[in-house]
Amino acid sequence: MTPSPKNSQMLSIATSHDDFTYDLLVIGSGPGGQRAAIQAAKLGKKVAVVERKAVVGGVCINTGTIPSKTFREAIMHLSGYNERGLYGSAYAVKDDITVQDLLLRTSSVMSHELDVVRNQLHRNRIESINAEASFMGPHTVRLRDVRGHGDGWRDVTARHIVVAVGTKAARDPKIPFDGQRIIISDDILDLRELPRTVTVIGGGVIGCEYASMFAALGVRVTLIDKRPRLLEFVDHEITDVLAYQMRQNRMTLRLGEAVKAVEPFTDRLGQRVKVTLASGKEIVSDMVLYSIGRIGATDRLNLEAAGLSADERGRISVNGHYQTSVSHIYAVGDVIGFPSLASVSMEQGRLATCHAFGVPTQSVPELFPYGIYTIPEISTVGKNEEELTSAGVPYEIGKAQYREIARGQIIGDEQGTLKLIFHLDTRELLGVHIIGTGASELIHIGQAVMAFGGTVDYFVNTVFNYPTLAECYKTAAFDGINRLGSAPLLEPKLEPAKEVGEVV
Ligand SMILES: Cc1cc2nc3c(=O)[nH]c(=O)nc-3n(C[C@H](O)[C@H](O)[C@H](O)COP(=O)(O)OP(=O)(O)OC[C@H]3O[C@@H](n4cnc5c(N)ncnc54)[C@H](O)[C@@H]3O)c2cc1C
Ligand SMILES: NC(=O)c1ccc[n+]([C@@H]2O[C@H](COP(=O)([O-])OP(=O)(O)OC[C@H]3O[C@@H](n4cnc5c(N)ncnc54)[C@H](O)[C@@H]3O)[C@@H](O)[C@H]2O)c1
């Protein structure tokens, strides 16, 4: 992407002198902004991070990743969910779990993570500025005081700028959100009580994760999505297992259905909400969680002053180095769109800074993993069956069920599945897709083998600790090779094993 002639001229004027306030100015203190700033500080650059909220950490620490994952952990423990396979469906560590029980753990983890980030910024001598940033020119940013009356401001300049402003939840102006009965995911931390019934609108990652959590607590959940499948980008066999498990947890899935109206009402049973679908169905519940996606938080950035623009969902487009159309302005994290993960945002922040200051890097975005903390957990890396089929790549699969593995029996996970996809001719590992306990940790074994160009034979030739879930890799590899008929094992590419009896 090249700057327009007008912007190029502005650029050359501004970079003709060296007296910028900062070498790098980062807008937004979420995972993307933090890593961009720390990388620049490590290179000895003068750096500042601007954050409009009173606390640093972004959606990741304050409303998204950290609170939702801790909430989930508290639910898994207190509800005894993982032990139900062993001790029966009535097993629970605590009866009558309250929101307060769940939030106790959440707030302590959040405050610890906040300390870690604050310390990191401080230790690296990164200036942390509590203000709202907006562009006044391609190198000039206005910092508006958002504390107190919020009427003070000052302008600063920077040689390079990283925009890491993240996203905010999409809302429909016709829906009367009130933070208790009709909510977005940010409101979960402020709930006063747990609902008995919930309708989740939007079966994306956020909708599926929270729907699973509520269902594990025994809440009756209805999940609505306008698409016919949950989590469209995930291997369909894996999402079929998820949908089965959700239904086992008494969830009702209304897929391929559009929502016509969301109306709060009060009757003798108390305050409730009615969701009317375009098909005429009506769903009544205590609470509605609206999770139909997120939009880039670019509306107050005055992008035009820098020669930039955003699309209809507030996203900024970038090239492979995370440069926007104005080459010294980078954008990273959720504001650039898919995959919108904390893990990926961090890496993008680091890569953007390295590029800005001429530090060579290596990155393989095709091997970025995805961890989805539904119940059961899902994790994937590489290609799925649908992608390979539409690309015309010949492949075979190999599967292992957790119940075939001693560790699966020990922990009582009957549904867990690990699936390998490998090239039919070369046997190179093309994708790993897991649903079940520990999926988001287990995935990294497959990711490493893929990074080194390994084949499915690697798993056959490797000894895994016993009893572990990692053994699923070996079982799945045998399954895959057996599907090939009598084809012999290939020579392992990684760390060739010694012949039996060979003198070492
Ligand atoms: C409920 C939920 C659960 C999630 N779970 C996971 C998960 O399990 N794993 C995972 O990898 N990802 C998860 N994510 C996604 C993850 O949180 C995001 O990918 C990540 O936070 C994006 O980082 P970021 O740096 O782009 O922006 P953010 O974390 O969104 O931070 C952006 C910051 O910029 C600030 N800002 C915005 N505009 C301005 C301005 N004009 N001036 C100054 N400051 C500004 C904002 O206040 C905010 O603090 C989850 C998200 C949600 C909502
Ligand atoms: N574990 C994780 O890594 C994790 C967890 C939570 C969130 N996130 C990130 O946060 C981002 C936002 O998540 P999200 O779930 O809000 O968005 P999403 O884009 O993942 O899903 C939105 C869903 O809502 C559906 N939808 C849209 N409009 C609708 C309507 N009118 N009625 C019914 N359904 C409708 C879409 O079909 C889609 O399935 C994701 O991109 C994700 O990467 C990641």
Kindly give the distance from the C-alpha atom of residue 206 to the centroid of ligand 2, in angstroms, as a whole number: 6
For residues 191, 53, 208, 400, the Cα torsion angle rounded to the nearest 10 degrees is -120
Q: Are 209 and 200 in contact (CB under 8 A)?
A: no
Ligand 2 centroid from CA 89, angstroms: 30
362-370's contacts with Cβ under 8 Å and 24+ in sequence apart are 364/451, 367/447, 367/450, 367/451, 368/339, 368/341, 368/343, 368/344, 369/343, 369/440, 369/443, 369/444, 369/447, 370/234, 370/339, 370/341
Which residue among 63, 168, 206, 334 has the greatest number of ligand 2 atoms within 8 angstroms of its CB, and so is best to mutate? 206
Which of the listed residues 27, 50, 60 should we mutate to test ligand 1's pocket, taking the one with most ligand atoms within 8 A of CB? 60
Q: Judge contact between 40 and 353, C-beta under 8 A.
A: yes
For ligand 2, whether the C-beta of 57 sits within 6 Å is no
Give, as one character, the DSSP assignment of residue 311.
-
- Kindly give the distance from the C-alpha atom of residue 291 to the centroid of ligand 2, in angstroms, as a whole number: 6
Cα-flanking dihedrals φ and ψ of residue 259, to 5°? -95, 130
How many angstroms separate the alpha carbon of residue 64 from the centre of ligand 1?
7
Ligand 2 site, residue 476, Cβ cutoff 6 A: no
Span from the CA of 201 to the centroid of ligand 2 (angstroms): 10
Q: Is 171 helix (H, G, I), strand (E, B) or coil?
A: coil
**Stated pTM of the model:** 0.92
Placement of tokens 């807008």 in the chain:
27
* ipTM for this prediction: 0.95
Token pair 């990164």 is at which residue?
126
Evaluate: CB of 369 within 6 angstroms of ligand 2: no
Three-class secondary structure of residue 9 per DSSP? helix
**25 CB less than 6 Å from ligand 2?**
no
Ligand 1, atom 21: closest residue by C-alpha: 60
Instruction: Tell me the three-class secondary structure of 80-115, residue by residue.
Output: CHHHHHHHCCCCCCCCCCCHHHHHHHHHHHHHHHHH
Print pLDDT tens along the chain (504 aa).
333 333 333 333 334 346 899 999 999 999 999 999 999 999 999 999 999 999 999 999 999 999 999 999 999 999 888 877 777 777 777 778 999 999 988 999 999 999 999 999 999 999 999 999 999 999 999 999 988 666 799 999 999 999 999 999 999 999 999 999 999 999 999 999 999 999 999 999 999 999 999 999 999 999 999 999 999 999 999 999 999 999 999 999 999 999 999 999 999 989 999 999 999 999 999 999 999 999 999 999 999 999 999 999 999 999 999 999 999 999 999 999 999 999 999 999 999 999 999 999 988 999 999 999 999 999 999 999 999 999 999 999 999 999 999 999 999 998 999 999 999 999 999 999 999 999 999 999 999 999 999 999 999 999 999 999 999 999 999 999 999 976 555 555 555 545 555 543
Structural domains in the chain plus CATH codes: 5-169+295-365 (3.50.50.60), 182-292 (3.50.50.60), 376-483 (3.30.390.30)
Compute the distance between CA of residue 184 and CA of residue 207 in angstroms, rounded to an integer: 10
Question: Would the CB of 254 count as within 6 Å of ligand 2?
Answer: no
Residues 6+ apart with CB under 8 A from 468: 407
